Copies of this chain bind each other. A is one copy, B any other.
């Protein structure tokens, strides 16, 4: 195509949808025309894009006529139904849901790690799970230098991963708690104000792992193209609005020092080292919020492994940006059909 692409956003009124708009604007992503798609409930309202009002249209099977790139973030069900329709209409889909991530015909891409996989797409490219992205942006460059054979990680996940309504519910339930008012949750099934809970996705009765944890394991293996990497993960929600944290311990095949890790990460794209031991200043969600980079700190030897093969670290990244919208827009930027300026 020689024209600037027609870009559709599916789920434009959601938390990620809003960040698609902001990220495309910030990165000067070339857009010939923007189609803002959402459910019938939001149709007729409008959003601002580059100083223009864009009318929100109801998502229908006919929405993708003339669309070059479709960014989906409206849940797995919507993606399963409409992404194939968008592809048939000639669009390339970048899908933020989990619908197609493990499909062997669908590249699962973090551009800093495996941008080369984009060319294999058959119409759909999947955006990985936010917790997987947050871990892999720093782990992949280490893995390339010294194969990581085992990872144990615990997450501290923000409300944003459950959408704009969950963020609002965290705010409102916290306000109610402070005012001593009762609060009935509608989105998150557990009390969220000043509370921590195991990630509220279905548990596999066999393994006892929840869906979020299973995604981190399976998607990490697919992205790293290493089915043997052993991953143990505990996914937990904390009362934070929009950036995830992870405490990560990893074990490499060859011995590795914290200085080697620091040297690799200081050159790794998408990573910013925040590791000030003297000032006790490390990655925090309030610092990661609104930032493109994965913040990495607390880089130190894992004292539970005297063999010198293991390192621990603590990371934080904006779930809505690198964990979702930014990663998707980065993928879209690399699509060959995108018109270049």
Contacts and interface: CB of A to CB of B under 8 A. Distances in A.
A198 interface: yes
A162 interface: no
Given A197-B282, A205-B278, A230-B305, 20 more contacts: A152-B302, A152-B304, A156-B156, A189-B280, A195-B285, A196-B238, A196-B284, A198-B297, A202-B280, A207-B301, A208-B258, A208-B277, A208-B298, A209-B300, A210-B280, A217-B303, A230-B303, A232-B249, A232-B304, A236-B314
Interface stretch (A136-144, A171-179, A265-273, A322-330): A171-179
A200 B280 contact: yes
A241 B312 CA distance: 27
Interface string A181-197: 00000000111001111
Contacts of A304: 150-152, 230-232
Q: How many identical subunits does the complex contain?
A: 2
B195 A232 contact: no
A108 interface: no
A58 B306 CA distance: 48
Contact of A209 (B241, B303, B316): B303
Contact of A208 (B230, B284, B300, B306): B300
A203 interface: yes
A245 interface: yes
Chain A binding surface SS class: mixed
Contact of A232 (B190, B200, B297, B312): B312
A154 interface: yes
A286 interface: yes
Contacts of A71: none
A300 B235 CA distance: 13
A247 interface: yes
A223 to B, nearest CB: 17
A239 interface: yes
A286 B191 contact: yes
11 contacts: A156-B196, A194-B286, A197-B282, A198-B314, A208-B277, A210-B280, A230-B303, A231-B303, A232-B310, A233-B303, A247-B247
A234 interface: yes
A310 B205 CA distance: 18
Interface in A234-287: 234, 236, 238-241, 245, 247, 249, 258, 277-278, 280, 282, 284-286
Contact of A178 (B171, B210, B301): B171
